[in-house]
Structure 1
């Protein structure tokens, strides 16, 4: 386990023999190696800790539950129709996937790139940028999803999630070159 987790042997001995509570990474590797439920391991770890009683009273226990939702390219009974950004195509989305506080008619879908399978749901009515939020923007290279961080002297920094590339800093006098199409309110991934 030490080789597989990158943890020191003494750390693992502490978990197994000395009653030290394991970290989440160790529990994840243990679930993979043994086939035991990760949620069950995590719940047992939580209950054994100092806040175990509080976690139980506040119903913070983790469940392993996967839901099946409907996403279709053909009209289905009473499913909201969301437009694919920049296209004349639509997807019909199960209402359970839609954010509760936003009118679905104000949403569009943008195909996620970077090797992910799914869509970013964009609120086209929300274009006022906030530090740390993700937006569908265009800065001259076509629409992309980027997280915006406020920089020095009125600049903004465009950060690509998961690409490992360097962030792009846009100075305050060039901010008007960044077109904000809308705020990412959630993403839909599928297998």
Structure 2
């Protein structure tokens, strides 16, 4: 797996964890995943099929697991800092849909020091940056204004670089296309 499209929220840059990204940049970071839909798998061959935005259908092997964090490998090693499902023991194969994003700081700042934790740092080249341009919908249940994206009108625009402080009023979501 040499190419991925991953999510990046502007707060990750705003917190000082990374600088702004530009197309053509070389960078080094780990990737996190969200995988609440993963289930045990009888398949034992890695698979990673792009579904759109930063979502993938994967078959992966669990290669690290503690009560606080687990790591799967589908050709790229990614972590999830949450209590793993009971079936997610080292050596177990899993399958299902995951989203993948840039490590906000969890791995970079502390998880990499855990005993037995695999090295998840990967050298990437940013080949494309997309900014979410999906319109917002505002509602006011119980007197509080809530903003959600209008998923029926999802849209992304290409950018040469991120601008986390000003894009979408400082609340931007990006997709980074990466190659290694």
TM range (shorter): under 0.3
Question: Counting helix residues as a fraction of each chain, which structure ranks higher?
Answer: 1
Which structure is richer in relative contact order (CA contacts within 8 A, separation 6 or more)?
Answer: 2
Q: Over alpha carbons, which structure has the higher Rg?
A: 1
Question: Counting strand residues as a fraction of each chain, which structure ranks higher?
Answer: 2
